[in-house]
Amino acid sequence: MSILRTSMNLSCGLNRLGAGACRLNTVMTVPVRSIKVGPKGTYVAKLIPTMVKLEAGKKYSWCKCGLSKKQPFCDGAHKPTEFKPVRFEVEKSKSYLMCRCKQTGNQPFCDLTHVKVMVQAFTGQLKDKPLS
């Protein structure tokens, strides 16, 4: 079982003018028995980045392993892994787009790498690792 499972439902019908229309509904679920391992060896926490309001001068710890339940921030879940959190601070108080796929080249910020990771997840190119 993978962290990303997709089910699709195609529904078709007639609109009020009698013309046919179809809609494809996609549902993603997150099972708990395995997790996707990204190309950089880190776990893919979420495929979508998150906007977070950060304060200038405050120290933050970004989760690099992907196991934290407080994404995108570290909660210490990395301890059984070789990964360490990325410590950072920002110069300006504002909202930042934070990476949650853990594959960014601009840690801890999103650089849109998650788009490539999404394609890899949907095409089965990412490895599953059982959770213990």
What per-residue confidence (pLDDT) applies to 88?
A: 98
pLDDT at 1 over 70: no
Domain that holds residue 122: 36-130
Helix (H/G/I), strand (E/B), else coil: 104: coil
Residue type at 121 in one-letter notation: A
Q: Domain count for the chain, please give it.
A: 1
Please give the Cα distance from 40 to 67 (Å, whole number): 15
Token pair recorded at residue 67: 């196991």
Amino acid making up residue 76:
G
- pLDDT 10s digits, 91-109: 999 999 999 988 899 999 9
Counting residues of the chain whose pLDDT is more than 90, the rounded percentage is 41
Tell me if 6 is assigned to some domain: no
**Span 107-114, average pLDDT:** 93
91: in domain: yes
The answer to whether position 26 is within a domain reads no
pLDDT attached to residue 132: 54
pLDDT over 70 at 26, yes or no: no
Task: Judge contact between 43 and 66, C-beta under 8 A.
Answer: yes
Residue 92 neighbours by CB distance under 10 Å: 9
